[in-house]
Structure 1
Amino acid sequence: MHAILGLSARHLQETHRYAQSPSFYNYGLLEAHHLKNALSSFNKQFQSSILANQDAALAASFLLCFHGCSTVHMDPLTTPFQDSSLTFLRGIRSIVASHHHAAHSGVFKSLVAPPRLTRRSIPRTVPSTGPFAHFIHLLNGLPPIPHFLENREVYEECVESLAPFLSLAEEQDDTRAEALELLLCFLEWQAFCPAKFVALVNTHDPIALILLAYFYATAGSVLSKAKGRWWWWQSKPSYMVQAIDEYLGSAWTVWMDWPRAAVQKL
């Protein structure tokens, strides 16, 4: 119940913002109240036996995921590119995986299984041109700074996992896959990205942030034909790219050329 009410309060805030109409209620306070209770109940549910209430726990996980995806941080006193959806999608998978019964049986099994990147809609070849090749070229041109050398494998792993989606973002094919299938692929990417990458993002590593910008620019471009279908997703790609671009500043402007240009077309 709290998950539904928290997401509803978020939706009402967005509705009033887009309609530019005044609100007689502070939906932000309602959202915070119900979100706190939802997360508390959700955690308790996984600490106890969930076998008797699997459907409710799974439904709550999706509702909280939608809320996480809809959350953009506009407060300038906070880190502008904190990615709650990235954190939540990995967190729920960790919670499920740590629960023996949930991880190995029933409807929760799919939440801890590796993503299936065999979808017909996604090219399997690594592109030799475009944003992927541009990123690799910039990566190869980095000075031999120990920090970058130590984390190069993480950078390469993430951009290679994004390569098929980068190819889709460059295509102009309106007949490609069903948008919902593609959205699920992007959510899977966040859920299964390396823990080291998340740690680098949290420490504001510039190349990890650029990769996050590439992810959101790619997702926004590929799903641009589905505007209006998922209110909880629509604002995130452009906001994240802009926030990361502003944070990194002119020193990384060449690296951000493609993500910046991609979201300007949205």
Structure 2
Amino acid sequence: MQRRSHKKSRGGCLECKRRHVKCDGGRPICLLCKIAERECSYSSSILGRQTLPTPGASPQSRSTSPSVGIMERNPPVITEATNTDCGLTASIYSPVNLTHTALIVHLLTTKELFTLGDSVPDHAGGITYGLEIGLSHPYLLHALLAFSARHLAHVHHEPSIFPSTDGAASEASGIYTQQAIALQTRAIALFKEACHGSVPVPLNQSNCVPILLFSSVLGHHHLADTLAKRPAGGLEPFLSHYTHCIEMHRGIYTIARTAWPMLLQNERLEPVLTASAGLTSREPRGSECETLKMLFSSEQDVCGHNQEYTDEAERQACLTAIRYLQVGFDAILAANTADGQAATEQSRYHMVFSWTMLVPAQFTRLLAAKRPETLVVLGYYAILLHYARGLWQVKDAGTYIFGIIEEYLGPAWSQWLAYPRAMIRGI
């Protein structure tokens, strides 16, 4: 039998070849570049080798006509030049990158992408504004395209009414997932280069809008990824992913608070930010969390153990998290908003996304330590997720999260999970 040819290390990524080290060829970023936190050429070149189906094509059309929906074989990577005149002459005759164009069209025409975001009446106008800013801030453009690819991965992962085409759809979903990873990796690398290079750039009037938009898009992407995780091992590995997601979202909140006066000067963002602040600053009205609050009463004896908190700041942090949960329940259960207008889907489910930004750091630390009381709080958050199960980012995450919490806490905490159990399982 003829021996298979051996690929030598000179076929590795550009960075490893430049440093004359053996590359493992890992995609979308090789191991050495990942460890050293260097930019890997694979994270961008992977885009040029993938063949993607057209987002609008059905699985049936893809399976019956191999030529339908096939993108160009070697699309050029997105230019990183911030000056639109730079390299114009050299690129004017380059072929159109249909892969990225398809992602842009999907962004502009698919309203459900940001259903967990703030209410923006003009979806296409809002996305267009983000893309315009992205032309001069490539990290934002890459983040938007990554999220578009992430949604397409979801679309093609859904079961088809034509079972015979599910294999092709699954393959397309995998390709879009890899593209989303590659684009997101590149977006983060570009952001670090632009804002945290040799001379860190402070938050200012010129960069606060693209940085906030980038952080928000990245946050939506990360939450969708986190809620889709079903790691082996149950609660502990999932909680590790989820608390990391909370910490990322807290960074978004910190950026918004720091740049708030500057952001309000932007006429496109001011109405959205003001409406968002109005939703999160509402006083809780309902009683869904009254039993939950008893867990954090200094007079309550839970499961035979005195739960009096020696650290009042921790107790208040947990009560703050509960307060925002109740605001979320109020928004979901109310037929109308305060001004009498029908609640939009975005305002109804606003707290599903915002809760991860607003919970205090002390609460996150207690959650990471798997304090039983905070896990019960997370069980109530699972109710919010269950209400939002029709959204593509959420699906059955509420049922899953409640299940692993209930299994971990066991019978001793069953009474405190009675309300979430009834709401999620109908028991």
The TM-score range, normalised by the shorter chain, is: 0.7 to 0.9
Preserved contact between residue 86 and residue 190 of structure 1 (Cα < 8 Å): yes
Match of 1:24 in 2: 171
Which of the numbers 94, 110, 135 marks the counterpart of 2:292? 135
Count of aligned pairs = 250
Corresponding residue number in structure 2 for 1:63: 217
- What are the residue-to-residue correspondences of 1:42-57 with 2, within 5 Å? 42-47=191-196, 48=201, 51-57=205-211
Matches within 5 A, 1:232-247: 232-247=393-408
Q: Distance in 2 between matches of 1:40 and 1:19?
A: 34
Instruction: Out of 68-77 and 36-45, give the one that drifted further.
Output: 36-45
What amino acid is aligned across from residue 194 of structure 1 in structure 2? Answer: P
Q: Does 1:155 align with 2:302?
A: no
Note if contact 2:325-2:381 (Cα within 8 Å) is conserved in structure 1: yes
Question: In the aligned structure 1, how far is the partner of 2:150 from the partner of 2:276?
Answer: 31
Q: CA deviation at 1:105?
A: 0.9
Q: Aligned pair in 2 of structure 1 residues 124, 157: CA closer, same or farther (>3 Å)?
A: closer
Shift of 1:247: 3.1
Contact 1:70 1:232 (8 Å CA) reproduced: yes
Q: CA offset at residue 217 of structure 1?
A: 0.8
Query: Would the aligned equivalents of 1:2 and 1:35 in 2 still touch at CA under 8 Å?
Result: yes
Residue pairs, 1:50-199, within 5 angstroms = 51-71=205-225, 72=227, 73-77=229-233, 79-81=237-239, 82-83=241-242, 85-97=245-257, 102-106=259-263, 107=266, 115-117=277-279, 124-125=284-285, 127=287, 131-139=288-296, 140-142=300-302, 143-144=305-306, 148-150=309-311, 151-166=314-329, 171=333, 173=335, 177-199=343-365
Deviation at 1:38, TM superposition (A): 1.9
Retained in 1: the 8 A contact 2:331–2:349? no
Shift, 1:258, TM fit: 1.8
Q: 1: distance between equivalents of 2:335 and 2:260?
A: 38
Q: Shift of the alpha carbon at 1:214?
A: 0.8
Q: Output the CA distance in 2 between the equivalents of 1:176 and 1:141.
A: 42
Cα deviations by residue, 1:120-152 (Å, 9 ceiling, x for unpaired): xx774363xxx4232234552322256x55343
Aligned partners of 1:91, 1:209: CA distance in 2, in Å? 23
The C-alpha deviation readout for 1:164-185, integer Å capped at 9, x for no partner, is 444566x585896222112234
Question: Which AA in structure 2 matches 1:76?
Answer: A
- Pairwise CA distance, 1:159: 2.0
Shift in CA distance, 11/243, structure 1 to aligned 2, threshold 3 Å: farther
Q: Match for 1:67: what amino acid?
A: H
Q: Secondary structure at the match of 2:415?
A: coil
Q: Greater shift after overlay, 209-218 or 12-21? A: 12-21
Measure the CA separation in 2 of the matches of 1:14 and 1:4: 16
Which one-letter code corresponds to 1:116 in the other structure?
Answer: G
Corresponding residue number in structure 2 for 1:250 = 411
Which structure is higher in RCO with an 8 Å CA cutoff and minimum separation 6? 1
> Is the alpha carbon distance of 1:185 and 1:155 closer, same or farther for their aligned partners in structure 2, counting shifts above 3 Å?
closer
TM-score when normalising by structure 2: 0.49
1:9 to 149, 157, 160: 149
8 Å CA contact 1:242, 1:260 repeated in 2: no
Aligned partner of residue 370 in structure 2, secondary structure: coil
5+ residue gaps, structure 1: none
Q: Give the TM-score normalised by structure 1.
A: 0.74
Q: Once superposed, what is the RMSD of the aligned Cα atoms?
A: 3.6
Tell me how far apart the structure 2 counterparts of residues 247 and 39 of structure 1 sit (CA, whole Å): 35
Q: Distance in 1 between matches of 2:278 and 2:378?
A: 21
Contact 1:96 1:111 (C-alpha < 8 Å) held by counterparts:
no
User: Is the deviation greater in 211-220 or in 197-206?
Assistant: 211-220
Structure 1 residue 189 displacement after superposition: 3.1
Task: Report the Cα distance in structure 1 between the residues aligned to 2:248 and 2:324, rounded to whole angstroms.
Answer: 20
CA distance in 1, matches of 2:408, 2:284: 33
Tell me, in whole angstroms, the C-alpha distance in 2 between the residues paired with 1:233 and 1:16: 16
Does structure 1 conserve the Cα–Cα contact (< 8 Å) formed by 2:149 and 2:179? yes
SS of the equivalent of 1:19 reads coil
